[in-house]
Structure 1
Amino acid sequence: MLGFQRRGLNTLRLLLSFLLLSTWEAGSGQLHYSVPEEAKHGTFVGRIAQDLGLELTELVPRLFRVASKERGEILEVNLQNGILFVNSRIDREELCGRSAECSIHLEVIVDRPLQVFHVEVEVKDINDNPPVFSLKEQRLLISESKQLDSRFPLEGASDADIEENAVLTYGLSQNEYFSLESPVSSGSTKRLSLKLKKPLDREKTPQLKMLLTATDGGKPELTGTVQLFVQVLDVNDNDPEFDQLEYKVKLVENATKETLVIKLNATDRDEGMNGEVTYSLKSVKPNGRSFFTLDESNGEVRVNGTLDYEENKFYEIEVQATDKGNPPMAGHCTVWVEILDINDNSPEVTVTSLSLPVREDAELSTVIALISVSDLDSGVNGQVTCSLTSKVPFKIVSTFKNYYSLVLDSRLDREMFVKENNPPGAHIFTVCARDADAQENALVSYSLVERRVGERALSSYVSVHAESGKVFALQPLDHEELELLQFQVSARDSGVPALGSNVTLQVFNDNAPALLGPQTGGAVSELVSRSVGAGPRGVDADSGYNAWLSYELQASPFRVGLYTGEISTTRALDEMDAPRQRLFVLVKDHGEPVLTTTATFLVSLVENGQTPKSSLRALTGDTSPEVTLVDINVYLIIAICAVSSLLVLTLLLYTALRCSSVRTVGTCGPAKPRLVYSSAVGSWSYSQQRGQRVCSGEGLPKKDLMAFSPSLPPGLNGEDQGEKQDPGSNDPAQVSFLQISPVLEVFVKLFVTHFLKNTLCVCVCVCVCVCVCIQCSSGMISGACH
């Protein structure tokens, strides 16, 4: 029962205490203190015991204690002095956040009697928090095409403090493109933003870094910063650009296909698709598009065709680079390709004038042809030297740049023929073959293409030297046995497989005409000139048609008989003619091919009163011994002397009868034509006595040529002792015998008319017959005795 009572008493007390407390609270005020945040430990807050009216001595006995709804340990009461102090760190932002009001509510309880007091401690804000940006950096993507005054919002900073400590102002680092636009007040709807004040150019400034600063209004000021990265977005506002506007390249003309000419590079300052470049050929001048190709992705220009320096020395290539932007933009460049010459053209020889055929008696330095030589290459590759193959009778003479004359350098000999009865081993001809290969492939060897010639092998007639190509006759050739020897020589190189070709040679085994010397003869009259002379005598060891000879003379005023060989004058010789005449006589047979020989005659003209002497030398293509005259046959001398004596007696009688007539006969000063022997020139020659006058009452003076008859056999030497005179007219002289009897006059007329004429005829016939018989017996004229 007692326990129950005690428990009831305590309950009553408790109810009473609450009642009293409620009464006190309703009747008393609360204590209010303030303390700045972040105050240090032990910072004085207030004298709470004193302010509550409590004695210091009763604080402990009455169990004075402080209770807090939040964190009771933040503030404590010193029971010794009754002071409320800061016990631990006070962070207003931690306690109240962004709230404008921030207080710590304390309950002070005192027992015996129980009392409860409310104490409010206001936490004062201090500027202990700087402005804070939510991001460490802010990135903005801005197109370079944005217009001026364009605005780009920014995220501002926050400050955990309140009131003035939380009032923020912003600043932007120095730059030329942007300015900062801040809100005017906290209630402004304007946002923090960047304002474009200068046009952007991504190619110059692809990105910008700026520092944005936030400053609060506290004392001291606290700041916060954030890094701004502005990435300038590209637009296709730039053309592709080459490294150079013009490129110069040198390229040899024998460059093969796919040879790299140049690698072009164009850059576009834009990015992405706007900066991707493709290449294309716009044009190649002149007409050279097919000679080059261009890779559209990497800009490589390569050779596609065959270049020729002689056709085009330069090419102008225009290249375009285009980006992939929208719209696309393009850039251009020019590539100058200079083609370098190589020696790829052979000299060209052009015969502008050709004098054919060439006579084998042509004078030295005779111009045969005019030649122009050209080479399409340039520089040293186009410099040409002109030369002839060795062992030819011609030479090249330079007349002007790349112009030459082909002139005769040595005497010509038309025949290439082999004479019969040649010595064994005689060199006939030399064949020569050329091979364009090199080293062993160009080594040429020669051999006969063996065949049979009649009953004998070809190798028994001729052979060929394997290395030099010289062809030799192994035995004497006989025209009567083998007139034409035709065979082939083979030339083979040393390559594998061996290559070769053949050449056909034709060896004519023939006899050329031989010149034995001129024959002399003729008659000169005091009254009448007879144009007869001397000529060469040619013989040919061949037979038939091949032995039929013809003569040609290239001189004036002389001519030669086509088939007789007799040289005669074509007109009367006078003082205007040269004292020495050189005659060239060409003797040809009628064989196939035609064989020839030549003779040179020197004719000297002498004045009256000179004693001419004569000799003969036949000048032919071959060296022959001097042909001299031998003593005249004794029979011929006797016959000529007898006839001459009778003729002289008849002439004396005729003269006496003429002088006895009444008619006056003019005096005569006959001058005899003389035979000239010219030992200096070694040939038979004739001379006309200059100033010779044959005087008679019948007509004008006569000029005659004394010449030897072609019927004179060769080998004779001496002077002709006989002279002949032609009456010069068939009509006898009319003699008037005034001092002689008519019978004698009739006798003399008959004698002169009949006997004298018959005597002259008999004398001439006898002389001719004797000469012919002597020549036949000596066998000097072929066919004369036949």
Structure 2
Amino acid sequence: MKIGREHKPRQALLMFIFLGAAGAGWEPRHYFVLEETPSGTFLTDLVKDLGLGAAELAARGAQVVSEDNESCVQLDRQTGKLILNKKLDREELCGPMEPCVIHFQVLLKTPLEIFRADLRVGDINDHSPEFPEKEMTVKILESSSVGAVFLLKSAQDLDVGNNSIQNYILSSNSHFRVSIRNKGDGRKYPELVLDKGLDREEQAEFRLTLTALDGGSPPRTGTSQIRIIVLDVNDNAPEFAQALYQVQILENSTMGSLVAKVSAKDLDTGTNGEVSYTFFHSSREMSKTFALNALSGEIRLIKTLDFETTSSYDIEVEASDGGGLSGKCSVSIQVVDVNDNYPELTISSLTNPIPENSPETEVALFRVRDRDSGENGRTVCSVQDGVPFTLEPSIENFYRLMAEGPLDRESRAEYNITIIATDLGTPRLTTQHTITVQVSDVNDNAPAFTQTSYTLFVQENNSPALHIGTISATDSDSGSNAHITYSLLPTDDPQLVLASLISINANNGQLFALRALDYESLQAFEFHVVATDQGSPALSSQALVHIIVLDANDNVPFVLHPLQNASAPCTELLPRAAEPGYLVTKVVAVDQDSGQNAWLSFQLLKATEPGLFNVWAHNGEVRTSRLLSERDAPKHRLVLVVKDNGNPQRSASVTLHVLLVDGFSQPYLPLPEVAHDPVQDEDMLTLYLVIALASVSSLFLLSVLLFVGVRLCRRARAASLGGCSVPEGHFPGHLVDVSGTGTLSQSYQYEVCLTGDSQSNEFRFLKPVFSSILDQNSGGPYK
């Protein structure tokens, strides 16, 4: 299909040609457009050309990839229209090359498919022919025969095809005409033809005008003046040693390097034998690249070569003598490619960031290109070691950068991937391109507590809302996946109402006691704290928290014996014959507190007879300090203080009544005896046996008399002295374990009964009242 406007120069004339059978997915598509066509001009509908659905181009991520980084065409994914991206200048793009073709690919990424295409840029007649010189001088021997042909320098036209030079016209004269010669490269060269013999004496010089016309509509022209000098006869023209010189030169040759040297000889003598060299039919680009020494014939390089731009040059050299005769030769220069171009890497698509749990994700799609040729243009591609990414070769020098498997953001959140492209030339050239890939987080890590279990201590009788400790957890994820909230799990114990005891700050894990705790009621308890992140789905973990209530000295010691709340005071009996150290009684006390708060000590505060009694501080035993005398009062009142070891110290007082009696026999704990000397035992044995026998007999008789007297006195005075008893039963349940204070190994209640007559009393000691006392906290017996 061809679209155009006729008879308007430099107007856009759009044409595209679609070649290839329908459905040939890899057959190149061909399009055509004239140079200077405005940008935005519609080229074709790719939806129809590629046989795709209307929305498939956008869905498959279609894009145009050009051989150069800047594409001359643009694809509208929504409509499928291929439009011209910028105004093109065919001469700037391709120079004299014909046809001028720009290659590109249409890339469909998912799944990957590539359609090759090219855009041929057509020429318009926007350049006029130009001669290399405004005036050409031609020397012709007057002896030249009619029909002799003389070469003229041709004009240059940057346009190609029909818009290039098509004809030459010579101004009207009687001796010369112009003839056009076609060479193998398609260009036309003018030749001056002699139609009439010359006579130097008649006319020694001619001035003519040569006009070059191109094939445009309307045609463009260029002119040059021809000065013809008629010479005397010179019958030998210079001759080159070779008609064709073929040389090679490396493209990285330095300026000034010798490219070739031509040589011609002239058999004439004098000025007719002096040879000078010039370029013949030299283009503007050729003149900027090579210089010819007119005397030596050396051709040297005056401009840096580039194999990728121009791989060969054809030069014609003319050798002229002083008599006006000349000869010509051709020089073919082949530029040898060197590995001077680094591989080029172009990213077509990049996925960034990538989720850490994505398996075998395509990170990037890119193409590697090297402008050199042969082995210098072949490339290999790799990535650096130590990264979990690989390269997969695709088609048309495309590569996929793939993640080998799921990544772990917590181990590494960012990768700098260096892609290394190396050609196979000598020496090898390498290009490195670094891609930074971010790894996005997914909620794959549960919160982790700093400890698997926590032990926190709180003093009893604490103030409400007291901060007792902090539970901390961390999450390796990021963002909302790492935002942690804390909560309490209900306990399995129905008796423990956790919500009334403890609360937790959901944001920072701080634990608070909601009310005052009582060690005697609750000594320790435990529960679980749950840390939950905000991910989707949310992940959580648990930690065990032990709360230990510390005892405070908030209970006074309690006296078990003698009871201070009995209806009648208890009185202890003390025989007047008691020895020093005689055990009168033992004060038994307990403390509901624990530890050193329950360590009890006893002290005698007041006594009717100071110095008669003493109290052992650690076990509460009341003993006599000396022998009793007749002057000692029969009744004594002792006030004892029981103190704990707490801070502040608490104490309780106990009052004891001691009644002295005569003739009452009662075992007592003697003071430790001094060991006898084993040497005197044998001498004293007989004496001890006699004294023992007398003592036993006396005591037996005294005991019988005392027993009868006591019985008689008891009956007579039973009415006057009320019985002293302690009602059996359990002590209050608020008593606590004193944990081995040394007062008693078991709990006992003492009962002492007295009659009105101290000589006929009955003493019952260490009679168990109850077997156990339940502890308020643990429910176990006191030890």
Answer whether TM exceeds 0.5 for this pair. Answer: no
Higher strand share: 2
TM-score of the aligned structures, taking structure 2 as reference length: 0.43
Normalising by the residue count of structure 1, what TM-score does the alignment of the two structures yield? 0.42
| Bigger-Rg structure (1/2) | 1
